[in-house]
A and B are shown apart, each in its own frame.
Chain A
Amino acid sequence: EVQLVESGGDLVQPGGSLRLSCAASGFTFTNFWMAWVRQAPGKGLEWVASIHPDGRARYYVDAVKGRLTISRDNAKNSLYLQMNSLRAEDTAVYYCARDPGYASDGFEFDYWGQGTLVAVTS
């Protein structure tokens, strides 16, 4: 059974840092692109970042470029999101998601975790 379990969400002050983790199991982690998708309170889903199976290609939404960094450790079947210079608008539930690889040039997501809450407030 595919499982994605996020952790690391917390209450943090503006300008602060946080590292989210996602533990993956039930599939061959090294075969799949992985992503982070977020949902701000009362808002819809927003893609944040995606990473190639070997970690060398990474893509980000413009709003987080230079502040959030996606990475992975294939030996540990884990995905990460390093969050620096956090802003109030980064407040959201962050979901880890797997890309099944159907789309040739874009991203789709077939398995999602339950999410972890990041709240940026003074």
Chain B
Amino acid sequence: DIQMTQSPSSVSASVGDRVTITCRASQSISGWLAWYQHKPGKAPKLLIYDVSSLYSGVPSRFSGSGSGTDFTLTISSLQPEDFATYYCQQADSVPPAFGQGTNVEIK
């Protein structure tokens, strides 16, 4: 099974900051990686699929990149509504695996 490792586990940032979250897979997953945003008590939201495709309705300040085993989610200018936990997830094979999450907190 493929394992996903995110870093950092937590980041403190201010509105307007650029935030980068990384995700490493235990083996190559080609182009099948997704990113989600999750707020307490809410349904998770798909942000990015297939490594870099922006899901419908997601602001363009979110972007994804990477290949092979190393991937990145970037928020170009953090907004108040972006404070949440972010998860990567490999969609290359079954079982789909999520990273442990990155909590983006207000500085």
Contact = CB atoms under 8 A, between A and B. Distances in A.
Interface of A: 4, 37, 44-47, 50, 59, 61-62, 95, 100, 102-115
Contact of B91 (A44, A107, A114): A107
Interface in B47-103: 49-50, 53, 55, 87, 89-101
Q: DSSP majority for the B interface?
A: loop
B21 interface: no
Contacts of A114: 41-43
Interface of B: 32, 34, 36, 38, 41-46, 49-50, 53, 55, 87, 89-101
B100 A103 contact: no
B101 A44 contact: yes
5 contacts: A44-B98, A45-B101, A95-B43, A103-B50, A106-B93
B46 A110 contact: yes
B55 A110 contact: yes
Q: DSSP majority for the A interface?
A: loop
Given A108-B46, A115-B43, A61 B95 contact: yes
A37 B87 CA distance: 13
A108 B34 contact: yes
A95 B89 contact: no
A47 B95 contact: yes
A44 B44 CA distance: 11
Query: Which of the listed residues A37, A105, A106, A109 has the most CB atoms from chain B within 10 Å of its own CB?
Result: A106
